[in-house]
Amino acid sequence: DTGVSQDPRHKITKRGQNVTFRCDPISEHNRLYWYRQTLGQGPEFLTYFQNEAQLEKSRLLSDRFSAERPKGSFSTLEIQRTEQGDSAMYLCASSSQGDGTEAFFGQGTRLTVV
């Protein structure tokens, strides 16, 4: 198992453009999470999937953000009409269910909106 992988690692886009990020979790993990991390802060929860069902969304996730996890495998996070404030590191994590299990993080996608 190669761990959680994210693509792309870096994305520079112009304000107003749409971007899409992909996350491939660890294959046997049924839980998948998206977080956002800005400079000098810890990751902040955005949304959570259990299998293909999106079960929770943070208030940080505006209407311009949408996430999917078709077939309960990989996930995509799309940001429409990007704004400069969307510039951040977007982290994906996956875990199995059960008490005390840890989340495994990917290396993130760094988004810069210019």
Residues engaged in binding another protein (CB under 8 A): 4, 31, 33, 35, 40-45, 48, 50, 55-56, 91, 93, 95, 97-108
Beta bridge partners of 23: 6, 75
93 - beta bridge partners?
33, 105
Q: How far is the CB of 80 from another protein (least distance, A)?
A: 24
Residue 103 CB, shortest distance to another protein, in Å, is 6
Residue 6 CB, nearest distance to another protein (Å)? 8
Nearer to another protein, 70 or 98 (CB): 98
What residues pair up with 92 in beta bridges, in sequence order? Answer: 34
Residue 31: partners with Cβ closer than 8 Å, 6 or more residues away: 48, 49, 50, 94, 95, 96, 97, 103
Nearer to another protein among residue 14 and residue 59 (C-beta): 59
